[in-house]
Structure 1
């Protein structure tokens, strides 16, 4: 398995599945399962019991994880792959299409 090149806070575009062509920000990354949780993408209905935090309970809409292979990083409004380069003795992420340093 290759390294996960996406990080929390990255803006990504969905390239496959029911939410194809939608964009959102990554809320969390699960490297073990190779999945990401993207804001407003892959929404599912979850039935919850009443609790101290949620007095009413009922049906709640929330994001479900999506496979990392189904999203691409967005740089300057266009999707791009991510590579790594050594700059000033540090390993940095680089957008393949533009060559710009991401972080």
Structure 2
């Protein structure tokens, strides 16, 4: 299995170039090279249902970042 090369890395500051979130900027939280997606901080927030646990006995919904296709982001500032 070969390594897939991407133009973004975890920690880079990126800007969304197309879609509903166009123009928004954020830092890359995670790169999923096999699927071709990235998670960007504060962009494409989705609601995820949470089962009841000790931390949240009522359960409910949690907001978290959704994935964006890697072709829809460009690097603004690279992490060195």
TM-score tier, shorter chain, comes to: 0.7 to 0.9
Greater RCO (CA < 8 Å, at least 6 residues apart): 2
SS in 1 for 2:71: helix
Q: Residue 24 in 1 paired to residue 26 in 2? A: yes
Aligned residue among 41, 46, 52 for 2:43: 41
- Give, in whole Å, the separation in 2 of the partners of 1:52 and 1:11: 35
Give the unaligned 5+ runs of structure 2: none
Runs (4+) off by over 6 Å: none
Taking structure 2 as the reference length, the TM-score comes to 0.85
Q: How many residue pairs were aligned?
A: 77
Higher-Rg member (1/2): 1
Give the unaligned 5+ runs of structure 1: 76-94, 96-101
- Give, in whole Å, the separation in 2 of the partners of 1:13 and 1:22: 6
Query: Structure 1's 52 and 24: CA in aligned 2 closer, same or farther, altered over 3 A?
Result: same
Taking structure 1 as the reference length, the TM-score comes to 0.67
Q: Give matches, 1:33-72, under 5 Å.
A: 33-72=35-74
2:75 alignment partner in structure 1: 73
CA RMSD of aligned residues (A): 1.7
